[in-house]
Amino acid sequence: MFQRFQVFLGRALTLEAEDLKREDGQTVTEYAVVLGVLIVGLASIVLVLKTGINTFLGKVSTALSNLLP
């Protein structure tokens, strides 16, 4: 474990300015990670707001049914 930390720290400390300036663009893996984070975030928002969404849709449904003769 300590050896892994040393290797990581050694790589981090030997970064050059050119390494930080590289702009190779995103890879498919990075896009997949971002998409996964977005999906998890949106799903958690929907779960938190589930009751409010159901109430709102119920009100809309009632209002639409009241418009019909």
Residue-wise pLDDT for 17-52, tens only, equals 665 566 666 688 888 999 999 999 999 999 999 999
Does pTM top 0.75 for this prediction? no
The answer to the question of residue 66 being in a domain is yes
Please name the residue that has the structure tokens 């896009």.
31
At 47 the pLDDT is 94
Q: Is residue 7 part of a domain?
A: no
- The whole-number pLDDT of residue 51 equals 94
Domain count, the chain: 1
d(CA 27, CA 39): 19
Give the pLDDT confidence score for residue 30 in this predicted structure: 87
User: What whole-number distance in Å separates Cα of residue 69 and Cα of residue 50?
Assistant: 31
Q: Per the domain annotation, does 60 fall within a domain?
A: yes
Report pLDDT for 28.
Answer: 83
> Is 5's pLDDT higher than 70?
no
- Measured CA to CA, the distance from residue 50 to residue 61 in angstroms comes to 16
**What is the span of the domain harbouring residue 57?**
27-69
- Whether 60 contacts 53, CB under 8 Å: no
Handedness of CA 49, 54, 55, 56 (dihedral sign): positive
In a domain, 40, yes or no: yes
